Amino acid sequence: MRGVIRMIEEDAYCIDVIRQIQAVEAALDKVSAQILENHLNSCVITAIRGEDPKERERVLQEIADVFEQANKV
């Protein structure tokens, strides 16, 4: 982000700024997907295998909320 801010402050060419923003977004999407995968393979599996039905419902609702929020953007 600092690089994008610096580009804007230095009055960089608009298309270059947009391309840099797209690169940042793509990198964030990749990290987000990796974190979600890790979460599904650890916390969610643990909760689903556990004996607390409220915990199962909570983690499943969290996942649903994440996807709902992603679709709003």
CA distance 61 to 67: 10
In CATH, the architecture of 2-72 is Up-down Bundle (1.20)
Which DSSP symbol is given to 45?
Answer: H
Write out the DSSP string of 19-50.
HHHHHHHHHHHHHHHHHHHHHIIIIIHHHHHS
pTM metric for this prediction: 0.78
Residues of the chain with pLDDT under 50: none
Supply the pLDDT for residue 72.
Answer: 85
Where are the domains positioned within the chain? 2-72
Comparing C-alpha atoms, which of 60, 64, 38, 66 is closest to residue 48? 60
